[in-house]
Structure 1
């Protein structure tokens, strides 16, 4: 891996968010490959507890074992990883160097992109509990290369839940993917609004916490949150008319997208076939 040098994104955590079906995972893969081509060391963390197939889109045959198991399992199955809403306590051992992490917990694509999975709910069976512990891993995980500083892309759960759980507090940059639907535009506005509130010092809900120590910890995590920037990318845009309309609707909410990815049926076909 390369050293940080003058690469502005080296060592940064970038969260990819958006409405379900907007193309978060597609954007994650495209960004990972583009950054790799520009000489970055790249780690992709799959933190979407319900979606599957991200490894295939990266050209990886089999996903690695979940980090939730590495950290001892979820509290709902008798393990040690708790939901950050119920227990904001930082995850022990969350700063990981890949040369010390057992190899079964990560893999690498042909382009040299490192791939890790926070955890999945679907393979745990009925009554497995909430996916809050997976959010805590996404919040606290800090990945180092073999003595170096990769950029980490985190494919997060659709919607706002991960932000509300505090994942946003550790992100350097948020990329919101917007497809041509009213719901997607609204979610982008809600994400921006939530991040603006955190920047303004709004504290999290804490009345449910059991003691003053946990309340203080939750407040401190939000008060010390990184000054996260928000970028918006349009995706699945079929024509100029649609692009102009979505941009107008976003502008009403104070949002200017940085770019557009047009509808490409070959991408949909690749996801259908489980191919990169």
Structure 2
């Protein structure tokens, strides 16, 4: 059941270690918001993950980095990117379905093409410059790990969702993020939770704990749209929306 909330807008950054399920949660959060009537823009900011568009049930759009001629030009021109509103994004760079739009920053396609720093710079400037109208939400699927904190990607977002899985690496990453003293609301989500190991995971301060679900696993394995509803995701969105009001 949803809590009563006022119409609002927000940019959410979803991050986590590789394999934690951040792309899956990005899609599920977007669908939960769309159910409530929000206009949702999903930003694919992970240059190596290739499945987000499939989880949303759409074709992959043209990459935003193609607005520029070269990697050097991305660094030089990204700060002057004139995409101030969602409606300003050229149609060929956006796909949409069921109240959710998807834009892709860029992917690594070829051996030896270089690091992903230009895409990180483009993502940072795109988010910083993007102004939301009432009832608009942005949900960003970031690259694996925490390098984007060093790039300042989170500066353009209002809150951060950190997806953790039951691994030692996730516990260490959670501690590192807490130690950074990021001046944004941070919501830790424990994915693939197993009650048998609850005592080992109690120090993660998770807002919600999402148990393994075969339906989600199979959809991700097949690269198919996620069509199930997840109560824990709805509760997470409730918490975020209500804290936004506070």
1:242 Cα deviation after fit: 1.8
- Whole-angstrom CA distance in 1 between matches of 2:19 and 2:157: 22
Question: What is residue 233 of structure 1 aligned with on the other side?
Answer: 189
User: CA deviation digits over 1:105-161, x for unaligned, max 9?
Assistant: 01102x21010000001x2x122111111111221214457x655211110011111
Instruction: Find the partner of 2:93 among 101, 105, 116.
Output: 105
1:240-259 correspondence to structure 2 within 5 Å = 240-248=195-203, 250=204, 256-259=205-208
- RMSD over aligned Cα atoms: 2.1
Question: In the alignment, what sits opposite 2:243?
Answer: none
**In structure 1, the residue corresponding to 2:80 is in which secondary structure?**
coil
Change (3 A) 1:166 1:177: same
Kindly state the Cα deviation for residue 94 of structure 1 after the two structures are TM-superposed: 4.8
TM-score, reference length from structure 1: 0.74
Q: Which residue of structure 1 lines up, in the alignment, with residue 52 of structure 2?
A: 54
Measured after TM superposition, the shift of residue 45 of structure 1 is 0.3
Q: Is the 8 A contact 2:38 2:137 kept in 1?
A: yes
- Which residue number in structure 2 is paired with residue 69 of structure 1? 66
Which string of whole-angstrom CA distances, capped at 9 and with x for unpartnered residues, describes residues 38-69 of structure 1? Answer: 12111000000111110000011x20000011
Conserved? CA contact 1:94–1:140, under 8 Å: no
List aligned pairs for 1:202-213, cutoff 5 A: none
Within 5 Å, which residues of 2 pair with 1:7-22? Answer: 7-8=7-8, 10=9, 12-22=10-20
Q: Could you tell me how far apart the structure 1 residues matched to 2:186 and 2:86 are?
A: 28
Any stretches of 5+ residues in structure 1 without a counterpart?
A: 200-226, 251-255
- Equivalent pair of 2:61/2:93 in contact (CA under 8 Å): yes
Is residue 101 of structure 2 the alignment partner of residue 114 of structure 1? Answer: yes
Higher percent of residues as helix: 2
1:155 matched to 2:153? The reply is: no
Counterparts in 2 of 1:70 and 1:243: CA distance versus 1, 3 Å = farther
User: Residue 81 of structure 1 aligns to a residue in which SS?
Assistant: helix
Aligned counterpart, 2:126: 141
Structure 2 partner of 1:202: none
Contact 2:55 2:223 (C-alpha < 8 Å) held by counterparts: yes
Match of residue 169, structure 1, among 145, 155, 165: 155
Structure 2 CA distance for partners of 1:52 and 1:163, relative to 1, 3 Å: same
Aligned to 1:81: 74
Conserved? CA contact 1:18–1:188, under 8 Å: no
**Whole-Å separation in 1 of the counterparts to 2:174 and 2:153:** 16
Q: Provide closer, same or farther for how the CA distance between residues 107 and 90 of structure 1 changes in structure 2, counting only shifts above 3 A.
A: closer
Residue 173 (structure 2) pairs with residue 180 (structure 1):
no
1:138, 1:154 within 8 Å by CA — same for their partners in 2? no
State how far apart, in whole Å, the 1-side matches of 2:209 and 2:217 are.
17
